[in-house]
């Protein structure tokens, strides 16, 4: 038995997706298979996790929520099928299901015109299904419209000087003359909405949604400037409509999440903000699963500086460390030094690139490689 090995092992696999190669559920399956190849009959409990971004609904369904599907408007205005998760009167709604980058054709971006209208339709469906508590996960968006599309789908009006609805996306907000939130679905006043996000950026400015996240959505420097000005104008018009709290929300943590949809949620849905992984671990029943564990395996596609700022592995590791349970991580690539991992509460990380340095091959063969990595973890910690 190596240093750090545990006895009467009960392993909890609580990893996020490997974006572009494996879902969180598939990661858990592959890790379990590799562990049991070395330690037959090993007790392994899987709890796929997410931080509010894409994969959040899948994690909720894996934890026992019911998957509900509905037709909604995609980011380019097309019709698509999106899902939310429901258990009792609690719904988990993931904005990326309706307006995520994954819905754009390969190589196609629409930073100025992509809309969150479908997110509002998804929220409406959750209300129709009886939801009274909504966990609203935001991240992975193709949009930068400040949530205006979402609010319009729920009954708000955003009109230009001629009294006509403004165009879709952040660019359309340049023409905004009046905003009216009085027509919002009245059920929203009776529902608790919690904004789950892994970012705490404000709406605009150097750390705002357009500047920080716009380039990931295909925005040029000129587009970023256009969107930043449009969102600032949007907040000014909303301030005239609903008062000073609109300006306060614009600089609140989470306002810049998912192209500013966080702002729309704070202003129009009465949402409160919580770090996504903290909220999701609570919803998924992580602490109960953790109480049975002697070793935790977490991870995501890339363990890097971003991981340390609210991503799923950092949240899992922090909770496990508080319970004095050892944590190791699996990942596609590792871009953190050992001291940073240790500070985050991760004993050791196992990147797939150590087995297959070629990035394309590593992604293509992520499943079998992950099983081999899990075999190594079993030998290092469980045998």
In the structure encoding, which two tokens stand for residue 364, read together?
A: 């293509």
Single out the residue of 22, 134, 90, 102 nearest to residue 365, CA to CA. 22
Give the three-class secondary structure for 306. Answer: helix
* pTM > 0.75: yes
Provide the pLDDT confidence category of residue 8 given band limits of 50, 70 and 90. confident
Check residue 6 and give its pLDDT.
44
> Are the beta carbons of 101 and 61 closer than 8 angstroms?
no
Check residue 7 and give its pLDDT.
53
E strand or H helix at 28: helix 24-38
| pLDDT average, residue stretch 147-171 | 98
Task: Tell me how far apart the alpha carbons of residues 239 and 249 are, in angstroms, rounded to a whole number.
Answer: 10
Single out the residue of 364, 275, 223, 336 nearest to residue 351, CA to CA. 336
In tens, the pLDDT along 86-123 reads 999 999 999 999 999 999 999 899 999 999 999 999 99
Q: What totals of helices (H) and strands (E) does the chain contain, helices first?
A: 16, 13
Phi, psi of 44 (to 5 degrees): -125, 125
Which is more confident, 250 or 19?
A: 250
Task: Tell me how far apart the alpha carbons of residues 146 and 20 are, in angstroms, rounded to a whole number.
Answer: 27
Task: Tell me how far apart the alpha carbons of residues 12 and 335 are, in angstroms, rounded to a whole number.
Answer: 24
Task: Tell me how far apart the alpha carbons of residues 113 and 198 are, in angstroms, rounded to a whole number.
Answer: 24
In tens, the pLDDT along 193-235 reads 999 998 889 999 999 999 999 999 999 999 999 999 999 999 9
């Amino acid at each position: 038995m190596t240093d750090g090995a545990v006895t009467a092992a009960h392993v909890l696999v609580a990893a996020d997706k490997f974006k572009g190669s494996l879902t969180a559920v598939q990661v858990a399956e592959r890790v379990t298979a590799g562990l049991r190849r070395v330690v037959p009959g090993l007790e392994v409990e899987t709890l796929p996790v997410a931080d509010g971004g894409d994969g959040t609904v899948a994690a909720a369904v894996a934890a026992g929520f019911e998957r509900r599907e509905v037709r909604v408007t995609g980011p380019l205005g097309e019709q698509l099928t999106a899902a939310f998760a429901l258990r009792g009167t609690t719904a988990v709604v993931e904005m990326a299901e309706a307006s995520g980058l994954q819905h754009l054709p390969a190589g196609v971006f629409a930073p100025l015109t992509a809309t969150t209208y479908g997110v509002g339709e998804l929220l409406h469906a959750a209300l129709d299904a009886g939801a009274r508590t909504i966990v609203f996960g935001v991240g992975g968006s193709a949009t930068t419209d400040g949530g205006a599309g979402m609010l319009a789908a729920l009954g708000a009006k955003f009109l230009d000087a001629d009294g006509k609805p403004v165009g879709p996306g952040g660019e359309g907000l340049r023409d905004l003359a009046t905003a009216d939130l009085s027509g919002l679905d009245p059920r929203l006043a009776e529902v608790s909405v919690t904004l789950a996000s892994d970012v705490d950026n404000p709406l605009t400015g150097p750390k705002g949604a357009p500047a920080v996240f716009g380039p990931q959505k295909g925005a040029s420097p000129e587009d970023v400037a256009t969107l930043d000005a449009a969102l600032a104008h949007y907040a000014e018009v909303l301030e005239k409509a609903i008062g000073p709290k609109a300006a306060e929300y614009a600089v609140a943590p989470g306002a810049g999440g998912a192209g500013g949809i966080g702002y729309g949620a704070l202003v129009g849905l009465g949402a409160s903000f919580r770090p996504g992984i903290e909220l999701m671990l609570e919803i998924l029943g992580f602490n109960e699963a953790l109480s049975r564990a002697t070793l935790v395996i977490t991870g995501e596609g890339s363990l890097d500086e971003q991981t340390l700022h609210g991503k799923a592995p950092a949240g899992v590791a922090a909770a496990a460390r508080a319970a004095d349970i050892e944590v190791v991580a699996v990942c596609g690539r590792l871009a953190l030094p050992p001291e940073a991992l240790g500070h985050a509460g991760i004993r050791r990380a196992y990147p797939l690139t150590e087995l297959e340095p070629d990035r394309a091959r590593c992604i293509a063969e992520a499943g079998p490689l992950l099983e081999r990595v899990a075999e190594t973890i079993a030998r290092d910690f469980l045998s």
